[in-house]
Structure 1
Amino acid sequence: MSHATDDPAMVANKAGAGAGTGAAAGYRPERTLRLGVELRRQFKRRRTIGVLVLMAALPLLLIGALQLGGTEEASENTRVNLVDVASSSGLNLTLFTLFATTGFFLVVVFALFFGDTVASEASWGSLRYALATPVPRARLLRQKWLAALILSVGSMVLLVVVSVVAGGIAFGFGDVQTPVGLALDQGTALVRLAGMVGYLAVHLLVVGTLAFWLSTVTDAPLAAVGGAVFTTVVFAVLEQVEQLDGIRDWFPTAFNYAWTDLLQTPVDSGDLFRGVVQGLVYSAVFTALAVRHFARKDVTS
């Protein structure tokens, strides 16, 4: 007498569930380590909360600094500078905030979120347990990459939103006054501001993916974050050496401030285009190196 569990079709289905992979029946790699779970884990960490608080507080500190300076000294200065323009409107404050943070502050934020991904798990000893769940290595790396990208870009967006709102309350929601004396209406300025944020997200991704690659190489998060920041600073210093001439255009920091071209009318898109393409290429290379190294990494020790 045969039982229901001996039905040939059911046996074939059970065998096919893990055929060729050795996986247990019902195992689905795509259901392991969901992005929402990884993001919730990251949001519970003190460094994430600290960065978000600092991003929200920085525009307020800049507003306080500008107001402490007063308008008397600014009116005596006949040369148009970024400080004068920053206090013209909330949008102007936002542009000044981006300009002040592009060279180093945002670099550290992207390096922190990307460089702390794999290395921190390895230093805690939890990486091998995550892979034993089992989470495929490629999926684990992808989810952590996406989580770091969301946190990095989200932090920058938070900085921009707080700057616009707090700056508008402090200095008014007027048009943008550019350093060269041109004005942009609010609608145009908001569209271009969105373009600036998008450009910076792509350009700073170079720093992030470099830190991400280093995070798969070392078990020390500080080494991954510091290595990416230090490399960026070195290239920024070398960029000041005029004897390097055209070589400087190939540095990852070459088009750091190309987003300011969006303030021109008409917009000069040459450096913007090259900065985006160069940023995507560097990011793809560093990400590929991270995937290659992590695929061969020994995480059992």
Structure 2
Amino acid sequence: MAETNGTNGSAAPGINGAAYPITDHTYDVIVVGAGGAGLRAVVGCSEAGLRTACITKVFPTRSHTVAAQGGVAASLSNMGEDRWEWHMYDTVKGSDWLGDQDAIEYLVRNAPAAVYELEHWGVPFSRTEDGKIYQRPFGGMTTHFGKGTAQRTCAAADRTGHAMLHTLYGAALKHKAEFFIEFFAIDLIMDEDGRCCGVIALKLDDGTIHRFRAQTTVLATGGYGRAYFSATSAHTCTGDGNAMVLRAGLPLQDMEFVQFHPTGIYGS
């Protein structure tokens, strides 16, 4: 439900002496971003019966997840022996022991369930001849704590992100989530106690300002590879969500760890 209000007060931003009109929206949950993480949050909240809205500056299936190719690592053991402990060892080692090991353990323990969830929702994973999800070897993936080679990566040919994103968007629509497409989140709404109460966004096609109030705000705004001179990140990866967090006086963690593909053209 939305309604348009004029904002009163001498300090209110405006033009020609009149305050900008603000369109108000109220939801249980606001998710900012419609990539893989954002859409999964939208589906989960909607499934739980929460009135959920997703704000995204691009059409959901144009989010950067669509460019992911290689696949998703999970110790399904479809192509040979595998265990989550070996997956964790490889991940900790691959991070040069700088990774958050509690987070890594959560990731590897839950990866098989996440892959099966995507499969049940309709992601067309590549298959073995007997119908199991095919798993390919990938650099750094081992068995027995570095002694053998693991085939751990689940993929939908070389279009894994494309398949995931379209499937998740369909699942979100199935659960009646509401999407505000081509809305650019500007700032978090904070109360006097430092609690986030929603988001202010700009509707890109007409320049109107929208105020989204919610009990819970989820930021899934992706990376900020475009802070670098050369990167393979999409040109939408500009760190808008991180900037909102900083302006709200909230902390950010491990900002130096930015990943993009080590290929590309100088200055691109």
Structure (1/2) with the larger helix percentage: 1
Larger Cα-atom Rg: 1
TM-score tier after normalising by the smaller chain length:
under 0.3
Higher strand share: 2
